[in-house]
Amino acid sequence: MRMTNQRRIILQELRKVFSHPTAPEVYELVKHKLPNISLGTVYRNLEVLCDLGLIQKIDVAGTQKRFDGTVVDHYHVRCLSCSRIDDVPLEILHSLDTAARELSDYEVIKHRLEFLGLCPECKAKTDKSSARKC
């Protein structure tokens, strides 16, 4: 593995933000520092950095993959309205795996859990609009 300029900047920028950006979003972030970088390079490097355990890939359901500068395993909430993602400080529930192992004939190794709901901002908007309806 070679620590190229591109790779270093991608890691740097990803560690600065808390927004769990998608690959194209990372690309936009990095372009401010390296205007000639290509999206392909961003994708390749995010993959490499994941493999090295320097960042984390959050591939939750249905949408684009997102990336997290933090390596510690944790759960996420996604806003159903604006797709914003935040961390949930709930410790990983290994007991779920144990339960599933007993209830299925699979060798259950891990699980993927994400919460869905409304972020504070979208919740406020919804409250307002339903109030207006009355």
| Spatial separation of the C-alpha atoms in residues 125 and 115, rounded to whole Å | 20
How many residues contact a second copy, by CB under 8 A? 39
2 binds, among a second copy, DNA, none (CB under 5 to 8 A by kind): DNA
Q: What is the DSSP letter of 85?
A: E
92 binds, among a second copy, DNA, none (CB under 5 to 8 A by kind): none
3-class DSSP state of 58? strand
* CB distance 86 to 119 below 8 Å: yes
Q: What is the DSSP letter of 54?
A: S
Residue placing its CB nearer to DNA in the complex, 4 or 98: 4
Tokens of 21: 């950006």
According to the binding rule CB under 8 A, does residue 86 interact with a second copy?
A: yes
Binding site for a second copy (CB under 8 A): 59-62, 65, 75, 77, 79-80, 86-90, 93, 96-97, 99-101, 103-120, 123
